A = this chain, B = another copy of it.
Amino acid sequence: MHQEPLPDRLPVTDRTRHRRLREQGSLERPQLEAVLDAGFVCHLGVVVDGRPVVVPTVYGRDARTLYLHGSVAGRSLAGDTPVCVTATHVDALVLARSVFEHGVNYRSAMIHGTARKVIDADEKLEGLRRITEHATPGQWSYARRPSRKELAATTLLALSLEEASVKIRTGAPEDGDGPDAALGLWAGVLPLTTLWGTPEPDPALPPGIAVPEHIARRAGTRHG
């Protein structure tokens, strides 16, 4: 089936319109993809018995669909279910002169839509491949792939990337040119950096099995 690519400009809907701090909002698809690609754990929100439930889960994507590992939330989902998926990276504390202007530099993507459970075995395999490769590029061709039985035991959710929005805050505090600047207080940002560490072998691993290159080369590099 031929599908038109999703438009680069994300649609403005009641849920994606940026109302607060307009300057931080983005509806550009490349920014959405960049934020999603910077991490591998998102928070999936569903409504269960009229109340919200928010669970962390891993994800991957292609150009139009977000795939989510849905083991926990999936059980609660009957058929097509409204969801909200939010993926956030915290980049720095914004330390202003006044408490009121304190904040966080961050990148956050929010996707609204209706999640469907993936049933088709081929799509399920492809979705799992996307999730696996998203977290650990190279791992799909290294590890043993799912058996038919394992595939059946896996709950995979698919969510269209159609309706989404991005919020990004960068840079210094905003009270540098206001009256509080005269207080003589230090202001600036305190960055947070996430790094991949050194691979730790499973204690059950027999000697002589080297860390594969696609994992070893990540050690010490920046994540996010």
Q: Which residues of A contact B (CB under 8 A)?
A: 15, 19-20, 40-41, 43-47, 50-56, 58, 71-72, 75, 82-86, 88, 90, 92-93, 95-100, 102, 104, 106, 108, 110, 112, 128, 132, 135-136, 139-140, 142-147, 150, 153-154, 172-173, 176-177, 180-181, 183-206, 209-212, 215, 218-219, 223
Contacts and interface: CB of A to CB of B under 8 A. Distances in A.
A202 B190 contact: no
Given A51-B112, A99-B132, 20 more contacts: A20-B75, A40-B104, A41-B104, A43-B45, A53-B84, A92-B200, A95-B143, A98-B144, A98-B145, A99-B143, A102-B143, A144-B180, A172-B203, A176-B202, A176-B203, A186-B210, A188-B201, A190-B200, A192-B223, A193-B194
A198 to B, nearest CB: 7
- Copies assembled: 2
A53 B90 CA distance: 19
9 contacts: A15-B53, A20-B75, A41-B90, A52-B52, A56-B106, A58-B104, A186-B210, A187-B201, A192-B195
A55 to B, nearest CB: 7
A15 B198 CA distance: 37
A45 B50 contact: no
A51 B80 CA distance: 12
A111 B110 CA distance: 21
A97 B45 contact: no
Residue of A135, A172, A185, A204 with most partner-chain B CB within 10 A: A204
A172 B112 CA distance: 34
